[in-house]
Amino acid sequence: MKGKSSGPSRGSRKPGAAPQGRARGAVKAARARKPDAPKAPPKQAAKPASIKPASVKPAPARTSSSKGVSLDVRQFRVAADDDGIRLDRWFQRHLPDVSFNTVSRWSRTGQLRVDGARAAPGDRLAEGQSIRVPPAEPKAAESARPKRVRPQLTDDQVAFAQSLVIHRDAQAIVINKPPGLATQGGTKTEDHVDGLLDALEYELDQRPKLVHRLDKDTSGALLIARTARSAAHFAKAFSSRTARKVYWAIVMGVPSIEDGMIELPIAKQPGTGGEKMHVDEEEGLPARSRYRVIERAGNRAAWVELQPYTGRTHQLRVHMAAIGHPIVGDGKYGGKEAFLSGTISRKMHLHARRIRVDHPDGGRVDVRAELPDHFAASLTSLGFDIHAGDLPLDEEIERKPTREDEKKAARAHAKQIRKGRKGERRSRGASAGAKGGGGKSGGGPRKK
């Protein structure tokens, strides 16, 4: 039985099944082909290689590899100190690496926006506005310029600068600039007020800013802004002519009119490199200066008050020389005739006596600067009374109304009476029409 049963089990196979010998041969063949199996995967291994760059984090692509500048759109909020300044000046303060040409291009292409609207470089900003700034454009390394470092002030320079201060508050400083000290630097000019401003920071951690200037040889009150907000405020006051500046001067001779207005256009004198101005009726810019004679020393000289109503370069000096009364010591515009003999100093006798301007926090800055020694000595030598110099401004004079003022007031009063009577007639007509009960308003009374 065992022999019979074992025979069919060896020889029997399921339909379609391979013989056992072939199966063993296939296993051996598979084992033999195993080393060749890695040849197929390269096609599948290539896929991870192509996908690999996509797995890199995008963050590095949003910054400049050289400067680390963000390449995302940026949003800024206008602070109180930047209220009223131009958009291009805002960039100078907060993003100095962005050039004016870049700002202009962003504006033309609509990428630069303020509160969602397209903005131009000259637009004025208001506190609280939102500025949309496009991604930064890092400059090439070779075009980068080293920042200019201001020299450190010595203790003597700091003490000198602070000794000039005659007024200081949270927004403004007024100094009494001595003659011979330039307001700003230039060719061969190393000592100037602008170079001393670091000494006037005091408790604030920001550098003060100049908002107007005085000639090098002119002494007196010079206003300096302590914050960006006050700088914008004062600059607007000077450009709109709401700030008042009063000068004292000693002039050659005595003007025939004691209270006069000089209206002569001024332009740069050709051939002087812009260093000298002159009266030019055809191409000059409008210029107005008022003068009032304070006292006179016979026919030799006069002490005058000057008020510039415009802000042209050397305006007061050019105007006084143009009417034949140059300022004493001003050889540039008066020549040899601008000097007095005797004990009178040869320095220029022009002094910014007073400055009055609205304060950004309310009220006014109203400061007077004392005379330099040479000016005060000249007044004494000429016999002038120093206490007679401060004349009141027009708006400070309490004057009685003139005949013309009375006529204007009477005409205005009569006009108001006529308006009142006309209103009364209209109201009576309307009430009468309502009582008539029908028809056109006011028709009944007109027929009667």
C-beta separation of 277 from 310 below 8 A: no
DSSP strand pairing (209-210 vs 219-225): antiparallel
Task: Dig out the tokens for 318 from the structure.
Answer: 């050019």
User: Of all helices (H) and strands (E), which one includes residue 209?
Assistant: strand 209-210
448/444 Cα distance (integer angstroms): 7
The single-letter DSSP state of residue 204 is S
The single-letter DSSP state of residue 122 is T
**123 in catalytic set:** no
User: Of all helices (H) and strands (E), which one includes residue 350?
Assistant: strand 350-358
C-beta separation of 191 from 323 below 8 A: no
| Burial classification of residue 250, based on how many CB atoms lie within 10 Å of its CB (0-12 exposed, 13-18 middle, 19 or more buried) | buried
φ, ψ at 245 (rounded to 5°): -125, 130
135/137 Cα distance (integer angstroms): 7
The single-letter DSSP state of residue 309 is S
Q: Which of 82, 215, 217, 330 is catalytic?
A: 215
Residues acting as catalytic residues? 215
